[in-house]
Structure formats: structure tokens, C-alpha cells
């Protein structure tokens, strides 16, 4: 069938709307008519060449919509179902078998390979192959080929056009709090960076009834939003050394810290702000893959500290997305407050607005 997709022709090029031919779903694949698709930092990083992907190609990995066809052997979703689309995984490696698909041994091939395992992409423009299967979806388009394994059937009443970001950015921030750090009631949580991932961590910390939720963020508008969403304190890093500002609020140090910035000085200050048996969760992706930070040898054992790297919030999307939607339906996880919708054909303007910080999280609607 012919669809319209936001094709990136080469590294650094803008998104260009192009009519492309999409194959019918292969065995195990699911054809989704896209209702909404979020723009995540990873889309931009790939477009700018900081992460590998073949071009020309179609990005987009926070899609959602309606199933319009299924391939052979698909049994868990059917035509007409509303679905969110998350990251893909192999389902058979040791980590997938242990219900840790975010650490799939084949994560790069299944999410950044740009093709099916047999090398085909299912997508072509004027007879020329176009890379697809980005995060098992390539959903910056009117339609996307996903997989039975990475589509999540939505409960009745879920806002189908808004749920795409649950499959990546929101799941990452919330999962860090719920799954990775397992934040306990009455505790103190630091969150560095009030972008969509950090604010999702704030929403989750509120659900977990953390007593103090301290957000570190340089932009005034985002600090204000953090307070609206349940942060108890906000810190402007320009007002002085972070660890000193944090100790003024919690003299004994924090129980948990979530870093979304991947800024070396911020990470070191978070580590210095942990209390006894504190846990630092690292979510941010550094601009420089060689970036390092220093850890003393004295305090971590003395205080029983933990440093924890986290991908996709340690989530299994099949269970975690329905959990988040159940909280949302109860009014306890208002993730829609993070989202601004714009038409898909305004994608280049939307990306620019998100990079400027005018918009926190855009969801594009075809
Ligand atoms: Zn796997
Ligand atoms: Zn993402």
C-alpha cells in the first residue's frame, strides 16, 4: 500500500514527506495506522548521526494507533485493536527470557538495524529501498509495520493518540522510579533535568508517596511545571553548588537520585548528595560517548551507595504500559500534561520547538 512517511534522506537532513510503498505485514508483523507519534531525543540523535542507522530511512519510535492488518501467526492482537508501540526485542536471549527485554542481547539489531533479520525493510520509494524497522516500528508516518512482540494492546478508554511516549520516554522516567530504584514511601528523591523523562520520574515518585521530591533544572518554566506536577522543591543550578543546595533541604542526603542530564558535573554532585545506602540511577545519554565521571573509593562502601545504569526504565512494556494507563485512568499519573500535539506535517517546526524548549514533549498526529 502507499503511505506517507517523514523520510530522512541523509545524516543532518530535515524530515521530508514522501509517498512510499509499504509491504503487507510479514509473519509476526502488525500493520498500525498511526494516531500519534512522539519525538524523543533518540530520534534527533540518530538523525544528526550520533547513533547508527542507515539512510534514507524513516525514524519514529513512540507510535500508537489502530491495528489495520496482521501477518500470519499473530494471535495476541487483531484488526481494530488500539495499541501503543514500544521498543523491540528478540524474545529468546537470556535477558528476554528473564523478563528484561530492555537489556536484550540483540537490542541494537532489533532497534537500530534498519531492516528485518533477512535484510528487507518492507518500505521503498520509487523502487529504492528505504530503511525502516526503527525500534521495530518507524512510526513517523501514516502507517507503520510493527511486531506482535512490541505492540501493547490498550485498555478501553485509553487516549490512543497520546500513548506513544509511554513506549519510550515516559516509560524510561517512570520505570526508573517504579522498577529500577523501587522508590519507597517516605523517602527523598532527587531528579536532575525536568524534561519529559525527568518529569515522568517526578510523577512516579508522587505515586510512590516520596516525602521530598527535589528537581534540579535551569529553566524557570520547567521548574514551575515540576512543582505543579508534585515536586516539593526545585533547585536552579545557577544558584550555587548543587550538593550544598540539596543538603540545605535534606541534611542527611537523599535516598535516591535520577540523572537524566548525563552532564558529568551534575552526576558527580548527585552522587555527593546521597545519604546512607543511597542509589544513583543513570538514565541520561551523554553527548560524548567517551564521557566519564569520578567516583571516590572511600564513601561508596562506607555509605553503602549503589550506582545503577538504566535502559527504558527496566520495563517490560507488555505489563508496564497497562500499569501506567491504569494509574492515568485513576488520575494518579497525568502524563498528558507533558504533551503538546501538532500535525505530523509540521514535524520540522515541532522538532525545532522541542529543541528550543518551547514544547516539552510533542506528539505528532497524521
Ligand atoms: Zn532478547
Ligand atoms: Zn526514545
Encode pLDDT of 25-42 as tens digits.
999 999 999 999 999 999
User: How many Cα atoms sit within 13 Å of 62 on the Cβ side?
Assistant: 26
Instruction: Determine the distance separating the centroid of ligand 1 and the alpha carbon of 259, expressed in angstroms.
Output: 26
For residue 49, how far is the Cα from the chain centroid?
19
Sign of the CA dihedral running 289, 306, 284, 190? negative
pLDDT (average), residues 260-289: 96
- Asked if residue 84 has pLDDT above 90, the reply is yes
pLDDT tens for each residue of 109-127:
999 999 998 999 999 999 9
- Asked if residue 288 has pLDDT above 90, the reply is no
The answer to whether the CB of 169 falls within 8 A of the CB of 54 is: no
pLDDT value at residue 81: 98
Of all residues in the chain, what percent carry a pLDDT higher than 90?
Answer: 97
pLDDT value at residue 53: 96
In whole angstroms, give the CA distance from residue 313 to residue 292.
Answer: 22
CA-atom Rg of the chain in angstroms: 20
pLDDT (average), residues 346-364: 95
Instruction: Determine the distance separating the centroid of ligand 1 and the alpha carbon of 148, expressed in angstroms.
Output: 14
φ and ψ at 46, to 5 degrees? -70, -45
pLDDT tens for each residue of 323-348:
999 999 999 999 999 999 999 999 99
Contacts of 52 (CB under 8 A, 6+ apart): 46, 108, 112
- Report the DSSP pairing between strands 188-192 and 212-216: parallel
Element (H, E) at 279: strand 274-282
- Asked if residue 287 has pLDDT above 90, the reply is no
| 199-216 per-residue burial string, b: 16 or more CB within 10 A, e: under 16 | bbbbbbbbbbebebbbbb
Instruction: Determine the distance separating the centroid of ligand 2 and the alpha carbon of 176, expressed in angstroms.
Output: 14
In whole angstroms, give the CA distance from residue 169 to residue 160.
Answer: 16
Q: Which ligand is nearest to the CA of 196?
A: 2
Instruction: Determine the distance separating the centroid of ligand 1 and the alpha carbon of 112, expressed in angstroms.
Output: 14
Instruction: Determine the distance separating the centroid of ligand 2 and the alpha carbon of 169, expressed in angstroms.
Output: 5
User: How many angstroms separate the most distant Cα atoms in the chain?
Assistant: 65
- Asked if residue 289 has pLDDT above 90, the reply is no
pLDDT value at residue 314: 98
Instruction: Determine the distance separating the centroid of ligand 2 and the alpha carbon of 51, expressed in angstroms.
Output: 12
For residue 34, how far is the Cα from the chain centroid?
18
pLDDT value at residue 77: 98
Instruction: Determine the distance separating the centroid of ligand 2 and the alpha carbon of 44, expressed in angstroms.
Output: 10
Q: Give the neighbor-by-neighbor strand order of the sheet with 233-235.
A: 233-235, 212-216, 188-192, 254-259, 274-282, 306-309
Q: Which residues pair with 128 in a beta bridge?
A: 125
pLDDT tens for each residue of 45-66:
999 998 899 999 999 999 999 9
In whole angstroms, give the CA distance from residue 19 to residue 7.
Answer: 9
pLDDT tens for each residue of 180-201:
999 999 999 999 999 999 999 9
Amino acid at each position: 500500500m502507499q503511505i506517507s512517511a517523514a523520510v530522512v534522506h541523509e545524516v543532518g537532513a530535515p524530515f521530508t514527506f514522501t509517498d512510499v510503498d509499504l509491504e503487507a505485514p510479514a509473519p509476526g508483523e502488525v500493520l498500525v495506522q498511526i494516531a500519534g507519534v512522539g519525538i524523543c531525543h533518540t530520534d534527533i540523535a540518530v538523525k544528526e548521526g550520533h547513533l547508527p542507522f542507515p539512510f534514507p530511512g524513516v525514524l519514529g519510535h513512540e507510535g500508537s494507533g489502530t491495528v489495520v492488518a496482521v501477518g500470519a501467526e499473530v494471535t495476541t492482537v487483531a484488526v481494530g485493536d488500539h495499541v501503543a508501540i514500544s521498543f523491540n526485542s528478540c524474545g529468546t536471549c537470556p535477558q528476554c527470557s528473564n523478563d528484561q527485554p530492555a537489556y536484550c542481547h540483540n537490542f541494537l539489531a532489533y532497534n537500530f538495524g534498519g531492516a528485518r533479520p533477512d535484510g528487507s525493510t518492507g518500505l521503498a520509494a520509487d523502487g529504492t529501498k528505504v530503511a525502516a524497522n526503527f525500534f521495530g516500528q518507524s512510526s513517523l508516518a501514516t502507517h507503520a509495520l510493527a511486531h506482535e512482540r512490541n505492540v501493547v494492546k490498550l485498555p478501553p478508554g485509553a487516549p490512543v493518540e497520546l500513548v506513544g511516549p509511554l513506549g519510550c520516554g515516559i516509560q524510561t522516567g517512570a520505570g526508573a522510579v517504579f522498577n529500577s530504584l523501587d522508590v519507597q514511601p517516605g523517602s527523598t528523591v532527587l531528579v536532575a533535568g525536568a524534561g519529559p523523562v525527568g518529569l515522568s520520574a517526578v510523577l512516579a515518585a508522587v505515586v510512590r508517596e516520596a516525602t521530598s521530591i527535589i528537581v534540579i533544572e535551569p529553566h524557570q518554566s520547567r521548574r514551575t511545571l515540576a512543582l505543579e506536577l508534585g515536586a516539593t522543591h526545585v533547585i536552579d543550578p545557577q544558584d550555587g553548588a548543587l550538593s550544598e543546595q540539596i543538603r540545605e533541604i535534606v541534611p542527611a542526603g537523599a535516598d535516591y537520585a535520577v540523572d537524566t542530564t548525563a552532564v558529568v558535573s551534575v552526576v558527580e554532585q548527585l552522587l555527593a548528595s546521597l545519604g546512607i545506602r543511597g542509589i544513583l540511577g543513570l538514565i541520561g545519554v551523554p553527548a560524548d560517548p567517551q564521557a566519564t565521571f569520578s567516583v571516590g573509593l572511600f564513601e561508596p562502601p562506607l555509605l553503602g551507595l549503589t550506582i545503577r545504569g538504566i535502559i527504558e526504565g527496566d520495563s517490560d512494556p507488555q505489563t508496564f504500559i497497562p500499569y501506567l494507563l491504569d494509574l492515568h485512568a485513576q488520575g494518579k499519573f497525568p502524563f498528558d500534561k507533558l504533551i503538546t500535539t501538532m500535525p505530523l506535517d509540521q514535524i520540522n517546526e515541532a522538532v525545532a520547538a522541542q529543541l528550543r524548549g518551547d514544547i516539552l514533549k510533542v506528539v505528532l498526529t497524521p
